[in-house]
Amino acid sequence: MTKRTIMLVCSAGMSTSLLVTKMQKEAEARGEECDIFAVSASDADNSLKEKDVDVLLLGPQVRFMKAQFEGKLAETNIALGIIDMKDYGMMNGPKVLDQAITLMDQPD
């Protein structure tokens, strides 16, 4: 199994850190090898250059940036999604991890 890289983008990069922790615990429990991290929207471009990202999930507070990221990711194989507001609010790591895996496993 290959290691998957999941990048979460939020407005400041802070609020999502708890969600990252919950997703990492769930990935470990499932035996999934994942590098999961959160960045602020302003740092997203740098992270995309530095890491081999498989999926980018936007926090609900930056969902308005989806079209902007679609343009940036158009020439890549990076999947893009928006974290469900309820799952984000409940910090539901398993559900958000499921979303990321589903997006990565979809054919191009």
pLDDT at 107 > cutoff 80: no
Exactly one of 7, 10, 58, 101 is catalytic; which is it?
10
Q: What is the model's pTM? A: 0.93
Cα 53 from Cα 76, distance rounded (Å): 10
Question: Between 3.40.50.2300, 3.40.50.360, 3.20.20.450, 3.30.930.10, what CATH number should domain 4-105 receive?
Answer: 3.40.50.2300
10 is catalytic: yes
Domain boundaries, the chain: 4-105
Residue-wise pLDDT for 63-93, tens only, equals 999 999 999 999 999 999 999 999 999 999 9
Cα 51 from Cα 6, distance rounded (Å): 10
